[in-house]
Amino acid sequence: MLKRDTIQLLALLSLTVAIPVHAEERLAVIVGTEREAKLSRQDVAQIFLRKRRFWSDGASIVPVNRNAGSAARETFTKQIFAKEIRFLPSYWNRQYFQGVLPPLTLASDEAVRRFVAVEADAIGYVHESFVDDSVRVILLLDAATPPSP
């Protein structure tokens, strides 16, 4: 009985293990399919720094980060914030004391894609292979190429 339960548990756990994504895969900045935004890297930076908080229709923007330490977040941070990357911890410390909280954080590309698909005002980023018809790509970030100044 114990052996069968162990096998079932291992089978279940194998379904929840994330498939590793190639380190060189591009990141896609995504929004819901209804959102008609056209954004530059600078626009995305302003949104994720919470300096730009509203879409053109007046709705509050809901930025969604990947978890700290994830390859996706490291790539996104390098690509979007480039030189400012070392200032981010002190920036968020100052913002916190002004009542501005950092973006939401989700633990996987799948979670980010699903959240953005159902939250009309959300924006997030996922590895390009996680993009499907439930979201719209507004910007692609090449993991291997640093952003131009």
DSSP H stretches of helix in 17-137: 41-48, 71-81, 88-97, 109-118
Q: Which of 89, 99, 130, 128 is nearest to 113 (CA)?
A: 130
Each domain of the chain, given as residue ranges in start order, spans: 23-141
pLDDT value of residue 9: 41
Residues 122 and 62: beta-carbon distance below 8 Å = yes
Four-CA torsion 12, 132, 128, 107, nearest 10 degrees? -40
pLDDT higher than 80, residue 145: no
Q: Report yes or no on whether pTM surpasses 0.85.
A: no
pLDDT value of residue 45: 95
CATH number of the domain at 23-141, out of 3.30.160.40, 3.90.380.10, 3.40.190.10, 3.40.630.10? Answer: 3.40.190.10
pLDDT digits (tens, 9 = 90+) for 22-60: 457 899 999 999 998 889 999 999 999 999 999 999 999
Q: Lowest mean pLDDT: which of 2-6, 76-80, 124-128?
A: 2-6
Residue range 3-30: mean pLDDT, rounded: 58
